[in-house]
Chain A
């Protein structure tokens, strides 16, 4: 089983729509969670960290459900500039995985006018 699994996508939504991405992780002891954004042929960039209580940054809301080992990202009022691939990322928790981050394969979002 992969450490991080994401919705395969692609998601194609009109401007102004609300879209949600989901992600599950395999190690219940993981402590740190992130969403990254990757534009075509560019490097991944940190979008936001995900905290236990859930957190919001403008139009973006991240939620963590530890019991279900599930992370989500909600984007409200989608903009054309939100078109990208969104990567779910989870930390390794010890031993040989300490210091490692595990990246999902990403969910592609296209926002159309």
Chain B
């Protein structure tokens, strides 16, 4: 089945700890995105990548880092510098970003502080 897989589904972070959220897609999409959603709020863009080995900051990149070493994978690290990490994290992908295609989402990771 083609799709986007996020793991884990639930994650708990201790004070001072970095945690990494996984996002893998087998749709052959060029572009990948990370969003954060807080209760009752809209989606906010953290980072996005239009091509392998390249990525750009979104609106709320502080306290987060990403890498894009493979087309299929776009992991997000929530660092200890992110003081309010509790949220629903969504990964998305799309075909060539210049074509303004819709984005397709994974089923998300819920991150909480211990």
Q: For the complex, give the distance between the alpha carbons of A100 and B31 in Å.
A: 10
Query: What residues of B have a CB within 8 angstroms of the CB of A101 in the complex?
Result: 102-103
Contact size range, A: 20 to 34
Assess the B107–A98 pair: CB atoms within 8 A.
no
Contact pick for B42, options A41, A43, A96, A104, CB 8 Å: A104
Q: Tell me, rounded to whole Å, the shortest Cβ–Cβ distance linking A97 to chain B.
A: 10
Query: What residues of A have a CB within 8 angstroms of the CB of B103 in the complex?
Result: 46, 101
Query: What residues of B have a CB within 8 angstroms of the CB of A96 in the complex?
Result: 56
Assess the B102–A43 pair: CB atoms within 8 A.
no
Query: What residues of B have a CB within 8 angstroms of the CB of A42 in the complex?
Result: 107-108
Q: Tell me, rounded to whole Å, the shortest Cβ–Cβ distance linking B3 to chain A.
A: 11
Known interface pairs A103-B42, A105-B42; A43-B105 also in contact (CB < 8 Å): yes
Further 5 A-B residue pairs, CB within 8 A, beyond A45-B105, A99-B31, A100-B48 = A31-B100, A32-B102, A34-B102, A91-B100, A100-B45
Tell me the A residues contacting B by CB distance below 8 Å: 31-32, 34, 41-46, 49, 87, 89, 91, 96, 98-101, 103-106
28 contacting pairs across A/B (C-beta < 8 A): A32-B101, A32-B102, A34-B102, A43-B90, A43-B105, A43-B106, A43-B108, A44-B43, A44-B90, A45-B105, A46-B103, A46-B104, A49-B102, A87-B42, A87-B43, A96-B56, A98-B97, A99-B31, A99-B48, A99-B97, A99-B100, A100-B45, A100-B58, A101-B103, A103-B42, A104-B42, A105-B41, A105-B42
